Amino acid sequence: MSKNRFSFDLSRFTVGAAKAWLLGIVALTATVAHGQTQTDPDTALRMLNAQQQQFEKGVIQVAENVFTAVGFHGANTSMIVGTDGVIIIDTLFGPSSAADAAEAFRQYSDKPVKAIIYTHSHGDHIGGASSFVGNAKPDIYATESFGSAEGVNKAVDPIKQKRNVRQFGRKLSPAESTNRGVAPAGTKDGDRGEGFLPPTVTVPNSGLKTTIAGIDIEFHISPGETDDAMFIWLPSEKVLFAGDNFYNSFPNLYAIRGTAYRDVLNWSESVGKMAALNPHVVVPGHTMPIAGEAAATAALQDYSDAIRSVYDQTVRGINAGKGPDQLAHEVELPEHLQDKPYLIQFYGTVPHAVRAIYCGLLGWYDGNPTTLNRLEPKIKAKKMAQLAGGTAELTAQMESALEKQDYQWAMELSDHVKWLDDADRKLARKTKIAALRGLAAREYNAPNRNYYLSYANELESGQLSNVWF
Ligand SMILES: [Zn+2]
């Protein structure tokens, strides 16, 4: 079998490189305070650089007739070769990245595309379908609720777009860029969605078992990152395509770009169902496949258990009367899961998940009557200044916090100082910019790091208003 320059086989990755990668990561995380995603800057950067191997560009043969293209854009796309055609699972972001992957796939098969399957409706999985089909007219499979994930929050699209740019670090300089946690930085995004082809076959809510191009294939409805998700199972090859309910990072149970509540319990259950199949390979929606029955099954079971544990701990804390600020600092992964390479918080974080679960179950109110009618920010800032002994003293405290590299506190004080009419607002802004960059350097969680750096740049360039909402 000819292999293109991107190719490498999965067994080599899983046995060799992945082991080294895993040991490296575990050694690095020994210095990390669990439950948080900050460490010393050198370690944070080394961790993010190590994670880079998870989306190194290449086509991986995951079974005799199954190929996965990693790193051609943010997400993965896979090809299953059947008797008289191929099946494509997920189609990347736009026609150019998809054409690149389609060309790489043709090294292994030039049979016509009989079916395209969308695991869910996120843009990085559906935008390049046209590049795979050529003259063929494939069936295009999606769930009944396909598209529901993006339809609900249209009213706040303007701010979601800004926050999306920050979370993914889309406007960061090459020197500031690392990656996106489960995807490389610097993807070509100009043709977003231009190759999308609408679904023609609806997978019913009860799922579907069928044969396409001689391949037995099962569609299992599996809500998680989105409500319209499904996973795909090849019972003969024992290959499982997880969509975005599994990848090599703690899951993004909440996205800081702003999303509606992702039902965490459903997510845990969906991944548990995947584990119950004992796959020989699991192909994630992003990052490298995991091969070997024991490794693949354990990864899925651990993932399901991790989500469930964060949910259960949060619910227990809620019922004990604790608020989200407290719980975000208390809840952590059970010890036996903390060093699993697929649960390191490169993309999702436990504290963000805790807050999302709180809000998803109870809404914004933390149950404490003090917070029912909080002071307006400007009034509170004035009172904080009085408490400090005046605006000059509050400003001095802010500067001192920055000096001591107490970045979070420096930012919180700058958020008071910025409201004061008699304060040096430029200094408050400068302080916040410096604190954001200090925090960013310590972050190994890619969305946090990208958000801090992007926001610092926006503040510096004057794109944000005086009180920089
Ligand atoms: Zn995705």
Distance in Å, CA 380 to ligand 1 centroid:
41
Distance in Å, CA 286 to ligand 1 centroid:
6
Output the CA angle 99-229-215, nearest 5 degrees. Answer: 65
pLDDT in tens, 54-112: 999 999 999 999 999 999 999 999 999 999 999 999 999 999 999 999 999 999 999 99
Distance in Å, CA 74 to ligand 1 centroid:
7
Res. 23: pLDDT tops 60? no
Question: 443 - beta bridge partners?
Answer: 38
Instruction: Give the DSSP per-residue string, 95-117.
Output: HHHHHHHHHHHHTT--PPEEEEE
Distance in Å, CA 222 to ligand 1 centroid:
15
**Model pTM?**
0.92
**CA dihedral sign of residues 29, 32, 36, 41:** negative
Distance in Å, CA 244 to ligand 1 centroid:
6
Distance in Å, CA 404 to ligand 1 centroid:
39
CA distances from 171 to 165, 284, 467 (A): 7, 27, 22
Amino acid 152: pLDDT: 61
Question: 8-9 and 58-63: which strand pairing?
Answer: parallel
pLDDT in tens, 375-416: 999 999 999 999 999 999 999 999 999 999 999 999 999 999
Question: 201-203 and 113-117: which strand pairing?
Answer: unpaired
Rounded to the nearest 10 degrees, what angle do helices 157-167 and 446-460 cross at?
110
Distance CA 113, CA 133 (A): 6
- Walk across the sheet containing 58-63 and list its strands: 8-9, 58-63, 66-70, 77-81, 86-89, 113-117, 139-143, 201-203
Amino acid 260: pLDDT: 87
Distance in Å, CA 119 to ligand 1 centroid:
10
C-beta of residue 424 within 8 angstroms of C-beta of residue 395: yes
